[in-house]
Amino acid sequence: MKLYSINTGYFKLDGGAMFGVVPKSMWQKLNPPDENNMCSWAMRCLLIEDGDRLILVDNGMGNKQDEKFFGHYYLHGDDTLERSLAKNGFNKDDITDVFLTHLHFDHCGGSIERDGDKLVPAFRNATYWSNESHWQWAINPNDREKASFLKENIFPIEQSGRLKFIDEKDGISFLENIKVRFMHGHTEAMMLPQINYNGKTIVFMADLLPSAAHIPIPYVMAYDTKPLQTLKEKKSFLTEAQQNNYILFFEHDPNIECCNLQLTDKGIRSNETFVLADIVT
What is the tens place of the pLDDT at every residue in 19-48?
A: 999 999 999 999 999 999 999 999 999 999
3-state secondary structure the chain: CEEEEEEEEEEEEEHHHHHCCCCHHHHCCCCCCCCCCEEEEEEEEEEEEECCEEEEECCCCCCCCCHHHHHCCCCECCCCHHHHHHHCCCCHHHCCEEECCCCCHHHHHHHEEEECCEEEECCCCCEEEECHHHHHHHHCCCCCCCCCCCHHHHHHHHHCCCEEECCCCCCEEEECCEEEEEECCCCCCEEEEEEEECCEEEEECCCCCCCHHHCCCCCCCCCCCCHHHHHHHHHHHHHHHHHCCCEEECCCCCCCCEEEEEEECCEEEEEEEECCHHHHC
Model confidence band, residue 51 (pLDDT cutoffs 50, 70, 90): very high
Mean pLDDT, residues 116-143? 96
Dihedral (CA of 165, 209, 82, 75) sign: positive
Q: What is the pLDDT of residues 156-166, one digit of tens each?
A: 999 999 999 99
pLDDT surpassing 90 at residue 208:
yes
Average pLDDT rounded to a whole number, residues 89-104: 98
Number of structural domains, the chain?
Answer: 1
Q: What is the CATH number for 255? A: 3.60.15.10
Report the percentage of the chain scoring pLDDT > 90. 96
- Which candidate, 46, 112, 35, places its Cα nearest to that of 252? 46
Q: What angle do CA 130, 133, 99 make, to 5 degrees?
A: 10
pLDDT by residue (tens digit) across 219-270? 999 999 999 999 999 999 999 999 999 999 999 999 999 999 999 999 999 9
What confidence tens digit (pLDDT) does each residue in 132-177 have? 999 999 999 999 999 999 999 999 999 999 999 999 888 889 999 9
| pTM check: above 0.95 | yes
What is the domain range of residue 38?
Answer: 2-280
Q: With left for phi above 0 and alpha for psi between -120 and 50, is residue 36 left, alpha or beta?
A: alpha
Whole-number pLDDT of residue 171 = 83
Structure confidence at residue 178 (pLDDT)? 97
pLDDT at residue 262, rounded to an integer: 98
Q: Please list, in sequence order, all residues whose beta carbon lies within 8 angstroms of the beta carbon of residue 101, skipping any fewer than 6 positions away.
A: 57, 58, 107, 190, 191, 192, 193, 204, 206, 207, 251
